[in-house]
Amino acid sequence: MAGRLEGKVAIVTGAGSGFGEGIARRFAQEGASVVVADINGEAAERVAADIGPAARAVRADVTVMADVRDMCAAAEAFGGLDVLVNNAGYTHRNGSMLDIDEEMFDRILAVNAKAIYLAALVAVPMLRARGGGSIINTASTAGLRPRPGLTWYNASKGWAITASKSMAVELAPDNIRVNALCPVAGETGMLHLFMGEDTPEKRAQFQASIPLGRLSRPDDMAGAALWLASDEAAFITGVALEVDGGRCV
């Protein structure tokens, strides 16, 4: 039986670990050819090698246009582009908003906001050439229900949600769907930053705020991204999908 992304070509950023790795692996399992893009080139190579011939690794800083062009060129080598997952993200440690220096602030906005803009400049013409496609931006529950301690990160994810909705309306005539994924804190390399410190007590505190009683996992995000990328979601655009175990209720 053909997979739900059979014959599709996808780019997943931040795919060397965490949510991005989970999404890249699931897409490949469902028949897609996948560009595994990550600022950590070795991590990207590891994931792509494990996936096999259906994957290409690209070392890419998503805030640099030359790197964005390189990762999109890798998709062209597969024949084009059908799905773009802007998953790469960055955050500051949980704490006072006044303790975040300008360099950190700029990096957060560059990775979480500017990268979506840069990718659109290159990817949208590619999607148009295929007659449409899907863009998925990884946002966060932090952009929907912000809490103290992550103010500038929260703001960047609110930007991603608003951008996704506006992109969805503007690109709808091109049959390009744009949606945002909004995970709750999950089992990724940035978890200790979201919590401020990774201790059993902190984990218990975070888990207690999630009705389903656990943190998010890469497979949760992979399943949601797969659905949004597939033809099953052909009439879904402009949605900020909460993948949060009920956290935003």
Q: Which residue numbers are catalytic?
A: 153
Query: What is the distance between the alpha carbons of residues 186 and 17, in angstroms, rounded to a whole number?
Result: 12
What's the longest Cα–Cα distance across the chain? 54
Measured CA distances, 221 to 59, 88, 90, 228 (Å): 22, 13, 17, 11
- E-strand ranges in 5-90 read 9-13, 33-38, 55-59, 83-86
- Pair 3, 26: CB distance under 8 Å: no
- E-strand ranges in 50-129 read 55-59, 83-86
Strand-pairing partners, residue 55, are 34
Question: Dihedral through CA 224, CA 230, CA 232, CA 238, nearest 10?
Answer: 70
Burial class for 89, CB neighbours closer than 10 Å (0-12, 13-18, 19+):
buried
How much is the CA Rg of the chain, to the nearest whole Å? 17
